[in-house]
Amino acid sequence: MSMLNIFDVSGSAASAQSQRLNTVASNLANADTVAGPDGQAYKARQVVFQTTLMGEVGAAGVRVSNVTEDQTPGRRVHDPKHPAADAQGYVTYSNVNPIEEMVNMISASRSYQNNIEVMNTAKSLMLKTLQLGQG
């Protein structure tokens, strides 16, 4: 029954997109963080998507294969009065780029909507199939 697989496929994509939205949220929340729990500045995180087979050949779902950390050095601001300032008086902020994150957020939310729409279409088609021969 290939129609039922659509829910697996689109569901996996929707959950992958919501995970992406989650990392965007934590990146944006930490855009001005000076230090994480390990004492280092927060590093922006990105999810990596990977195609995964959902049972049959034509059904390709998505999963998050891993979460990478952006290794570019964080923004350094000269502020000797700051409690987190180093010996030279510089404070290292996180390397989150809020503009990139906003673009990422819009893209994730659009893709999420697309997948929900696919599920809705499949649902209405299946409901009509269930009424086959009655009308």
Partner 1 sequence: MQLRLTQALDFQSQALQLRSERQRLIASNIANADTPGYQAREMDFARALREATGAQAVAGEMATSNPQHMAPVAGARDEAELLYASHSQDSVDRNTVDLERERHSAVENAVKYEATLRFINSSVRNMLDAMKGPNQG
Residues at the contact surface with partner 1, assessed by CB under 8 A: 1-3, 5-6, 9-10, 12-13, 17, 20, 48-51, 56-62, 107-108, 111, 114-115, 118, 121-122, 125, 128-129, 132-133, 135
CB of 101 to partner 1, least distance (A): 15
- Toward partner 1, which CB reaches closer, 9 or 96? 9
Cβ nearer to partner 1, comparing 35 with 122: 122
CB of 67 to partner 1, least distance (A): 15
Q: Residue 3 or 29: which CB sits closer to partner 1?
A: 3
User: Cβ distance 56 to 5 under 8 Å?
Assistant: yes
Kindly report the number of other CB atoms within 10 A of residue 103's CB atom.
12
Nearest one of 128, 123, 113 to 6, comparing CA atoms: 123
Min dist. Cβ of residue 41 to partner 1 (A) = 27
Nearer to partner 1, 52 or 97 (CB): 52
